[in-house]
Amino acid sequence: MNRYGIIMSELGFCAELLDPFIFQHVDVIARKLLPAFCETLDSYRAFTVLYDAEKDGDRELAMHYDNAEVTLNVNIGGTWEGGQVAFYGLATREETEALEVSLKRGHGVLHAGLELHKAQPITQGRRHNLIMWCRSSGIRNDLCPMCFQEPRVLPTNKFYHEGFAVPGGVSADATREMSEDLYD
């Protein structure tokens, strides 16, 4: 469970910092390294995780896959022991033996969102990471990364579209009207 993380958009870190970082840099690297999992990255959800072995902190994160086409997980501080990120292969396949990544301070790992993974318990110190769930509507519009079904994409409110994009042809005004009908 992530009880102490913060959502980067709520702190205003997106427009000047994360938008250019993800859309101009991570996008190029992700499409080169993980072409089977992403096309152009066109939205993201970024948040932090904070583990603390000494206080009443979170110590670990249970096995899951991400609501992302690709995830960039970067350490942004702390000194710690334990806390490896363990990977078990794609959620759509049989579970493999754990591949454990011990991130060093300031280092990161880029992986497919579909990779099953968990954070092993931290045994000493604190670990603070920035998690960027990067989305590619070109992929998720055809296959929802959570339920593996083809989604029916409807306009939603303008703040929270979870990475899907309404297919072309719908004007901004029409989208706004539809979302007002649906959610007001």
Ligand X SMILES: O=C(O)CCC(=O)C(=O)O
State the residues that interact with Fe ion by CB under 5 A: 66
Q: Please give the residues from 80 up to 119 whose contact with ligand X meets the rule CB under 6 A.
A: 85, 117, 119
Q: Answer with the entry of ligand X, Fe ion, none that 61 interacts with (C-beta below 5 to 8 A by kind).
A: ligand X
The C-alpha angle 42, 45, 47, rounded to 5 degrees, equals 150
Which residue is at the shortest CB distance from ligand X? 119
Closest CA to 38 of 149, 101, 114: 114
* 129 and 78 Cβ atoms separated by less than 8 Å: no
In a 10 Å sphere around its CB, with 0-12 CB exposed, 13-18 middle and 19+ buried, how is residue 101 labelled?
middle
139, 114 Cβ separation under 8 angstroms: no
Q: Residue 13 — φ and ψ, nearest 5°?
A: -90, 5
49 binds, among ligand X, Fe ion, none (CB under 5 to 8 A by kind): ligand X
Q: Which one of 53, 131, 132, 134 is in contact with ligand X (CB under 6 A)?
A: 131
Give the one residue of 46, 72, 129, 135 binding ligand X; rule: CB under 6 A. 129
129 interface partner picked from Fe ion, ligand X, none, CB below 5 to 8 A per type: ligand X
Site for ligand X in 151-170 (CB under 6 A): none
Exposed e or buried b per residue across 4-16, where buried means at least 16 C-beta atoms within 10 angstroms of its C-beta:
ebeebbeeebbee
For ligand X, the closer CB: 122 or 139:
122
Q: Which two tokens stand for residue 173?
A: 């005004």
Asked whether position 134 contacts ligand X by CB under 6 A, the answer is no
Single out the residue of 27, 42, 66, 69 in contact with ligand X (rule: CB under 6 A): 66
Site of interaction with ligand X (CB under 6 A): 2, 49, 61, 66, 73, 85, 117, 119, 129, 131
